[in-house]
Amino acid sequence: MFSVRACLLLLLLLATGSCRDQRNEILPEVSFNIFLNVNEPSLFDLSVPTGWVYYNGNTVDLIIYRNSAEEFTCLDARSTFNIEDGCLVRVMDDNVVIEDPCSGSQWLIMDGSVLNGPASRPLLSYEYTFNPVTGGLNIFN
């Protein structure tokens, strides 16, 4: 027979260890500071609202979406589901939905919010500053 203390210890171990859903853990943060000029020909798709580009910043892969004349959404392209798999998300042909090819999870490009699971966390979004006069977009974490 188990003692009360042994039963409580067993329940505590189950609650804090093996029952944890590791598929939706938080992505590790990446430090970076990227400066882009959205007027450059390579970033032509960012010249108008609803335009977007993939950007490889060496330490981080981004999806940059232009919401309006002066507002952007800068999303980490790493899936927030099964992070140990290292899946990168992709923008679908409708230019609205982002999908994880590994799990089928989907997010909205405008803000990275979850549309369909199994992912339950939004895509990571990053801070930015924008100078509309020069076209300078600085993305950082």
**pLDDT tier at 80 (50, 70, 90 boundaries)?**
very high
Every domain of the chain and the residues it spans: 33-140
Task: Fill in the amino acid letter for 51.
Answer: G
Query: What is the fold of 33-140?
Result: Rieske Iron-sulfur Protein (2.102.10)
Which of 2-34 are b and which e, b meaning 16 or more Cβ less than 10 Å from the residue's Cβ? eeeeeeeeeeeeeeeeeeeeeebeeeeeeeeeb
Query: Terminal CA-to-CA distance of the chain, rounded, Å?
Result: 54
- For residue 10, the model assigns a pLDDT of 43
Q: According to the model, what pLDDT value does residue 14 have?
A: 42
Please list the residues that pair with 139 across neighbouring strands. 34, 128
Share the mean pLDDT of the chain: 86
Prediction pTM value: 0.81
Q: Where are the alpha helices (DSSP H) in 29-131?
A: none
